[in-house]
Structure 1
Amino acid sequence: MRNLIQSVLLLIVVFESAAGTYEVRYFQVGGTVKLPLPAGVDLKQHYVYWKLEGGPELAVQNPLGRKSTSEVEPWKNRLSWTDGNELMITNIQQENFGTFVCEVKRMSVVIRTITYKLLRLTATVKPSTPLLPRSTLSLTCNAETLQGHENPQIHWLNPHGERELNQQITKIATSQDNGKWTCVTTHNQIENKAYVSVTVVDLSPPTSQSQYTSKSRPLTIPCSIPAHISWGQINDTGIKEVHWHFIPKPGSSPQRLFSLSVGNPMTWKAEKDRGLRLVSEPKKKDLSLTRFRGKEGDEGDYVCALEFKNGVILNRTVHVQVLRITSSPGTELISGQQLNLTCGLGQPLPSDLRLKWFPPEQSSLLSSLTSDRHPAHLTIPEVGTGDSGKWRCELWRSKACVTFAEITLKIEPRLSVWMLVVICSVTVIVLLLLVLIFILCRRRQRKMRHLRHRLCQCKTPKPKGFYRT
């Protein structure tokens, strides 16, 4: 009796396994499908057969590990086995959706089956062309329904991985919306995904609103177009002009520095010469300006702008500040004088910036500058010759030096009493020698004039001797 009951239970288990399971999966047209085997399959003892329901056989695997896939269109070169023994279908098309059946057999007996119903998952974006910031962006995700089955739950993931709960999203586009959006369906705790790309034309986000330079450092004013945006996409949005402006002070009139012709070829035109030049040709999408050394007159706002035919203007403003060192009473001093050095931007430093001084190695002030944050103003009551040389002031943000300024001081030694006596003595001796030389020259000139006077005192002298009359 016990054996009979065990046999009945075994038959029930076998029949339930053979009846198999039914799963619904959602995939995007053009995507890749991976269909796993039923649980509990021993590939060293069982045969695996994949086929379309009521259709041809697609793939086979035997206990010896030999695998084969259909070479008949439309499946040729699109079916393969993964390392995990899943059936993989690449670039699935509209006509490939349907019901896929996997049968696991021992010899000719079916011991397990699993059936997958593939339904279409569609993600769409409007407009499909690149759009400008502040335009309307619409995203829709739809899953094909199956009568008698519960519809899946749908949500979106934005390009930053943040969850958006609505099946349809309508919003005002910003540069943060640029990238790949993911539509996620959840059915029976299994997730399937569809993807759609959104392109928002904009300038690259600035690494910092302020740029720092000095007369000791190069000046670079950054502006660029992101790598994922092409000039073709920018032209499709109706670009009108690209230009640079400079505003020296708040409220002052902007000065137009450069303008870019977006024709073919694209060329920059200089409108006001401030010694700046473009970093590279426009095709490389780097619109930055640069100069070998900064100047005090560089302070102000630099505006990089993309102007479109519909009136939209995309711009980035970079505020340039110049670090400078001032010395009072000057850069040439005598040992013993008081020296005042000031380093700064011409206004109080923000809390995230700090200064660090680096005096000459022999300076008397070197030992007192030990902390990471140094004062903007340094005073040396009596400078010495050790303070002569190059002084350096660095501007730091966090653990990085953003720029530095340098000044060279010349300190002459102070003259002692003995040095003054020696200098005066030498000066007197030199003056006496000059007077002596002058007197000797005058006496020599007098002697020469007196000798010529004695030799010749008449107008027509005659030689002495006898003459015949």
Structure 2
Amino acid sequence: MMLCWILISLFVGFLKAQEVIYAQVGGIVTLPRDKVEKDVSVYVNWFRGSDTSPTIMRNPQSGIQKGKDTKTYASLLDDYSLQISPVQDSDFEIWRCVQHVLALSSEKTYKLYHVTIPKVPAVMVGAFLSLECKVESSSVVPKVTWIPPENLKTCNEIYETKPVVKYTNEKVTVSSVSRCHSGVWTCKLEYGNKRETKATTTVSVIDLSPFPDTIYTSSLFSSSTVSIPCSLSSMIPWSVLNETGLVSGSWSFTPLSDPKSRKTLLSLSVGPVVRWDIVKGTDGIPSVEGRELKNQDLSIHNLPVSEKVRGVYTCSLTFKSKTLTRNVKVEVLKVFSPGGSRFFEGQSVNLTCTLGHQNTSDFKVKWNCSSCSSFYNHLHPFTLSIPEVKLKHSGKYTCELWKNEKKLTFAVLSLKIEKAPVDIWLLVAIIGGVVGFILLLVVIIICIRRHRQMMMYRRRKTKFCCCKNPQQNQKGFYKT
């Protein structure tokens, strides 16, 4: 009986002599070395378990050497503390640090214990999330603290209703995850003599990234293009999305001029090669390109800018449990003149800056040109009127669109003012004279014809007289 108590006491003393160190598989752990007198001349040997040959050693003459056939990723820091990176399952055992300075020697023992966070699969936005920090039992009881992703605080500010996050001992739960909860979650252990160990896990939330609700652009050149953004908020492989229940995906377009006319532009093809395929029968709507998707970027690229691309673009991914959608409105600014861009001196010109529909009061425009200020119309700021153009008015006219003191986009129109050719005015005068002469001749001819008709009418009128014939003694009327 006495022997048992002695053995138990020795075992307890041995456990107390071991310093507890927690580590995570795949992480980094440091086993500190205690400094001794004449530390410069110290011999340091690190042993694994019951091994008689060191895993790694420091000799004042030959420097740092590693033992043969060791599979531990061990190295010595500047103070000859042992660092293992990355930690493997085989490293969770007793480690001894034996030091020699002349005839003096010392030894310190460490025991590695597991701290693990079971990895959770990708979580659909709005779903329930639960994480657990599992701590292997030892002679010390660590204090557990959870550290959420760095962007959680900032990201939560955009949500009116914040998801409920509960911390209970080694567990943390989120009632309805958002993209803000994706990232690295850290379980911090505090124990022993100010020891600290951190275990981490990465949470991937399946959601579409936020992007501007409206894109403002203009066609500055014939080759001008615009990209419509859409992407996954986390770096999730397509294989994981398929396992989560991905059914389909699409891009659709609704013109601003006809909100009821919605057409599908692209459909998602999922297989060994994930790509956007063009949907047939999309004539007369924006000309999109099919392409292979090699990452989380779902955007429409290189869309030619024109007035017909004005509208709402909808990016969607459909899963068995949920459909994720994002809408982006594309506004195209244009400067135009009803008479074109080429005018002659003396003509009046009206330049209009428009998005193709009536603008709200919070939109402002700024005209940039050499003489814009003298023609600025305060009643109709989106229109620039030039009553009588001159040669000096030739050049570029830029209309800038502003909202809330922010410049959104700009459009440019180049005017070309030319002198009216002399021969044109001469031709106009000649034509006018000829037309006048012809009209005068017509009037004269009409008058002459009427006069002749009157004279002919008078000559053809029949006259009768009454007379007596003394020879025949007959009475009556005779034609004379």
Fold match (TM-score > 0.5):
yes
2-structure distance, mates of 1:95, 1:89: 12
1:116 to 110, 115, 132: 110
How many residues are aligned here? 395
Does residue 322 in structure 1 map to residue 322 in structure 2? no
Deviation at 1:328, TM superposition (A): 6.1
Identify the residue that residue 36 of structure 1 maps to in structure 2. 32
Checking the alignment, whether the CA contact within 8 Å between 1:175 and 1:202 is kept in structure 2 is: yes
2-structure distance, mates of 1:165, 1:41: 46
Aligned AA for 2:318?
E
Identify the residue that residue 452 of structure 1 maps to in structure 2. none
Identify the residue that residue 445 of structure 1 maps to in structure 2. none
Aligned AA for 1:184?
K
For the residue of structure 1 that corresponds to 2:55, the secondary structure is: strand
Checking the alignment, whether the CA contact within 8 Å between 2:142 and 2:190 is kept in structure 1 is: no
Amino-acid identity (%): 31
Identify the residue that residue 459 of structure 2 maps to in structure 1. none
Does residue 378 in structure 1 map to residue 379 in structure 2? no
Does residue 232 in structure 1 map to residue 239 in structure 2? yes
Deviation at 1:140, TM superposition (A): 0.8
Does residue 103 in structure 1 map to residue 98 in structure 2? yes
For the residue of structure 2 that corresponds to 1:278, the secondary structure is: coil
Gaps of 5+ in 1: 1-19, 433-469
Checking the alignment, whether the CA contact within 8 Å between 1:143 and 1:152 is kept in structure 2 is: no
2:66 to 64, 69, 73: 69
Identify the residue that residue 313 of structure 2 maps to in structure 1. 302
Identify the residue that residue 213 of structure 2 maps to in structure 1. 209
- Mapping of residues 399-418 of structure 1, within 5 Å: 403-413=409-419
Identify the residue that residue 393 of structure 1 maps to in structure 2. 399
Deviation at 1:165, TM superposition (A): 5.5
CA shift in 2, pair 1:41/1:340, >3 Å: farther
Checking the alignment, whether the CA contact within 8 Å between 2:166 and 2:173 is kept in structure 1 is: no
1:259 to 252, 261, 267: 267
Task: Give CA deviations for 1:138-176 in whole Å, capped at 9, x if unaligned.
Answer: 1111222323x3423332332538698653112123222
2-structure distance, mates of 1:102, 1:295: 74
Task: Give CA deviations for 1:78-107 in whole Å, capped at 9, x if unaligned.
Answer: 332234422122343334323323233222
Deviation at 1:205, TM superposition (A): 3.2
1-structure distance, mates of 2:301, 2:122: 31
Task: Give CA deviations for 1:54-97 in whole Å, capped at 9, x if unaligned.
Answer: 5534333222252233325xx43533223442212234333432
Aligned AA for 2:121?
T
- Mapping of residues 299-378 of structure 1, within 5 Å: 299-308=310-319, 310-327=320-337, 331=341, 333-345=343-355, 346-348=357-359, 355-359=365-369, 363-365=370-372, 376-378=382-384
Checking the alignment, whether the CA contact within 8 Å between 1:70 and 1:79 is kept in structure 2 is: no
2:133 to 120, 134, 141: 141
Deviation at 1:195, TM superposition (A): 1.7
Gaps of 5+ in 2: 1-15, 154-164, 438-480
For the residue of structure 1 that corresponds to 2:137, the secondary structure is: coil
For the residue of structure 1 that corresponds to 2:392, the secondary structure is: helix
Does residue 157 in structure 1 map to residue 162 in structure 2? no
Farther-moved stretch of structure 1 (395-404 vs 230-239): 395-404
Task: Give CA deviations for 1:193-212 in whole Å, capped at 9, x if unaligned.
Answer: 11212222333432x22112
- Mapping of residues 18-37 of structure 1, within 5 Å: 23-37=19-33
Identify the residue that residue 277 of structure 1 maps to in structure 2. 288
Identify the residue that residue 58 of structure 1 maps to in structure 2. 55
Aligned AA for 1:305?
S
CA shift in 2, pair 1:241/1:288, >3 Å: same
For the residue of structure 2 that corresponds to 1:145, the secondary structure is: coil
Identify the residue that residue 174 of structure 1 maps to in structure 2. 178
Deviation at 1:303, TM superposition (A): 0.3
Deviation at 1:28, TM superposition (A): 0.6
1-structure distance, mates of 2:237, 2:330: 29
1:293 to 293, 299, 304: 304
Q: Could you state the TM-score of these two structures normalised by the residue count of structure 1?
A: 0.71
Task: Give CA deviations for 1:353-410 in whole Å, capped at 9, x if unaligned.
Answer: 7644343xxx4337999xxxx9544343443222234323244689997543232434
